Amino acid sequence: MPITDPTPHNTEASRAAARRQQILAAAAQCFREHGFHGASIARISKIAGMSAGHIYHYFENKEAIIGAIVAQDLETLLTLTAELRAACNVRNALIERAAEGVLDQLDPASAALKVEIVAEAARNPHVARIVREADATCRRELMVTIHAIRSAAGHDDTPAATADMVEVLASLFEGLLLRTIRNPDLDRRRVAQRIQLAINDLLDQPG
């Protein structure tokens, strides 16, 4: 069969994708400022620079926009842990990346959205499913990474023990999202160093 014209499709497709992204960017801003339920389609459309009705040409409904925002946010988390797993000297990589990761977590604007997502996951099954699948993937990646580090140091941990250490590591990180909202004045760099120490200790815990 003949190849159908690629150019118009591409421009149409990219145009539509750009429009979609435009909506998502506006939605992310609104969700950060007003929460998922406080943000109205009217407000999102105003910031996205289009009519409210037109948004429904790109998303089935508001829930779909929320889903896309959640998936987009978790995507970055997935690539981060995947990168970590690929690093060669894994222990140093983990601890050095930790400092960057901590500073990211301590950015109040992005923290607000991340916390909003978990709050929504606690009551919205659709969001919960997305969040939990991404989290399971991250945990699997981190388990491999941590098991490798500890094996190299002579520990032979059970899967359960590794899973628990992953939970503590995750708790340490994710807690920062709440800390930066509860105490916006904390010293980000110094806290990052302390977290590095804590991770170091965690990796040397008895099995």
What's the burial of 12, exposed, middle or buried (CB within 10 Å: 0-12/13-18/19+)?
exposed
Residues in the chain, how many?
A: 207
Q: Is 46 in the site for its own copies (CB under 8 A)?
A: no
Between the alpha carbon of residue 157 and those of residues 84, 126, 150, 183, 205, the distances in Å are: 20, 35, 8, 36, 11
Residue 54 CB, nearest approach to DNA (Å): 4
CB nearer to DNA: pick between 53 and 154: 53
Q: Is 206 in the site for its own copies (CB under 8 A)?
A: yes
Contact 23, 65 (CB under 8 A): yes
Residue 178 CB, nearest approach to its own copies (Å): 4
CB nearer to DNA: pick between 15 and 189: 15
**Residue 164 binding partner per list its own copies, DNA, none, with a CB distance cut-off of 5 to 8 Å that depends on partner kind:** its own copies
Q: Which DSSP state fits 25?
A: H
Binding residues for its own copies restricted to 82-121, rule: CB under 8 A:
108, 111-112, 115-116, 118-121
Closest to 99 measured CA to CA, from 3, 191, 207, 6: 191
Contact 207, 165 (CB under 8 A): no
Residue 129 CB, nearest approach to DNA (Å): 18
Query: Residues interacting with its own copies, by CB under 8 A?
Result: 32-38, 108, 111-112, 115-116, 118-123, 128, 131-132, 135-136, 139, 160, 163-165, 167-168, 170-179, 181-184, 186-187, 190-191, 193-195, 197-198, 201-202, 205-206
